[in-house]
Amino acid sequence: MFVRLVYESFRRQTRRKLLVAIAVTLGATVSTAMIGIATGIGDKISHELRSYGANLVVTPDEDNLDVQIGSVDLKPASTAYLEESSLTKIKGIFWRNNIVAFAPELQVNTTVGGEPVTLLGTYFAKQLLPATFWSARD
Task: Render pLDDT for 35-73 as a digit per residue (tens, 0 to 9).
Answer: 988 888 888 887 787 777 666 777 777 656 667 777 666
Domains contained in the chain, number: 2
Domain presence at residue 136: no
Element (H, E) at 115: strand 115-122
Q: Which residues contact 4 (CB under 8 A, 6 or more apart)?
A: none
State the Cα–Cα distance between residues 122 and 19, nearest whole angstrom: 65
Distances (CA, A) of 53 to 57, 89, 100, 120: 11, 20, 11, 16
- Do 60 and 122 reside in the same domain of the chain? yes
Give the DSSP per-residue string, 46-88: HHHHHHH--S-------SPPP-EETTEE-SPPP-----GGGGG
- Do 82 and 29 reside in the same domain of the chain? no
pLDDT at residue 31 greater than cutoff 80: yes
Length of the chain: 138
State the Cα–Cα distance between residues 59 and 90, nearest whole angstrom: 11
- Do 31 and 83 reside in the same domain of the chain? no
State the Cα–Cα distance between residues 125 and 33, nearest whole angstrom: 40
**Domain that residue 85 falls in:** 56-127
What are the pLDDT digits (tens) for 93-120?
Answer: 787 777 777 777 777 778 889 888 878 7
pLDDT at 24: 94
Max Cα distance, the chain (Å): 101
Against a cut of 0.75, is the pTM above it? no
Domain presence at residue 138: no
- Do 20 and 78 reside in the same domain of the chain? no
